[in-house]
Structure 1
């Protein structure tokens, strides 16, 4: 099969021809039709996830396709089922930037579920990790209608889901966005925008919200910026980092709750975000779709900024 992989940690991803791995007990083999790109892909290539690995290490964690084999003990899935999910399993190395991928049916791994009737494969592939992260983070924050929230990284994969989910709950959303994306993110529920390229976000927000905000959801990997943004949160509020960059000093704050967010109960989160999309309560904005052989170049430039939603991969 064709797959995008690295031969060792630190290598550049490249397109390779690799054998198909067949499922063992509790495993499901999916012939993929679509995948999507996430920041975690480069983290895996760099060895940042503390999990066992096999090499060549096939990258990609999100995908959609059809079940072609099931291992002993698998329940709820059969050959021929059209599925999507997060294919994150130990050992790492059987990812979704490939024609086939393995997923393990276990709650401490990724999550897999049937694709709702009528949902396109690329939409199903774009939902899992970003959507699950946004939904889980908002549930952890727990804002009520009428409260306010700053979302930093609002036009990226996680951010655009978070903006829509928060706005649907009646939360006043302040979203970071470049000027050219202002109308785009407002169209998805943001009440206000801040141009993060025009100066410190926290300083700009204080001009329009001098009393601060009730919560901050910050997708960036800038600890100093996160600390400044957390300073906007009113007493008793919440600041969350899905990038896990909150420092021990911030985590110890008694004034606000600070969370380095990690997903729990992935099957229920996947079910929740899939239901939101299937019912039309959120849209899944796809910025572009690329072929499998274009993935190495996409990953090489994925930190350049300017994203508007998700990049999907046609397998």
Structure 2
């Protein structure tokens, strides 16, 4: 396959992928590490303070493939019912780059002696940049409107909730309910629809030290195909972590992680494409780090798969 044909494929995928995913919420295979990015109600879901970093490189070997860098921190503050957190996300896809910074607030309270509910909101800003100079267009004179750099800033506001007991949880998150339109002087680059994330899971206590938790996340958006990911997560003695995930007709992957000195964790995941695009990439790699502390309130941890 010659370089020119590779270039045409890259430009085509960039255009298609930009229309459905740029300015959207980063969807990492091991989504259970950063649930607050999809649903602000998860702020404070861990009984202490948790700080996580994620670096993901998708479609390795494919020029212009997406890379994502996430920082997510949350904990309980003010009182045992109040969760607060911060997300910083940087996405680079081909010639486009998006950076978002959002604050999260949640309030947790008891429905009865067994069930609890958390309600959350998030607010922040998204910065979007598209550099046409990085695109190799065969006949530039035919695309006079595509030149220079597009820079846009949008405000972000989202909401969500989840309900749980000591084993089961289910939640709905809308990371951004404000319409976003990014454009240059002549054409729209992107118009982003609302996305709805439905998450659920159940924890099985296999023994005093081992637990298994199947989870599911479904993303719904007008004008886009439904996306659903299944994962089976396991924990050994709060020290060793493993997960298998599957997104029908898209990818299959796994994760391993280890916690040491109680406060620190590192992990790695690999995902392989299972569609026709698998011929053009060598899979996706993600690296995780986590640091956590106990806080004064020490509220009981959510049954959701949180760190």
TM-score range, shorter chain: under 0.3
**TM-score w.r.t. length of structure 2:** 0.26
Structure 1 or 2: more helix by fraction: 1
Structure 1 or 2: more strand by fraction: 2
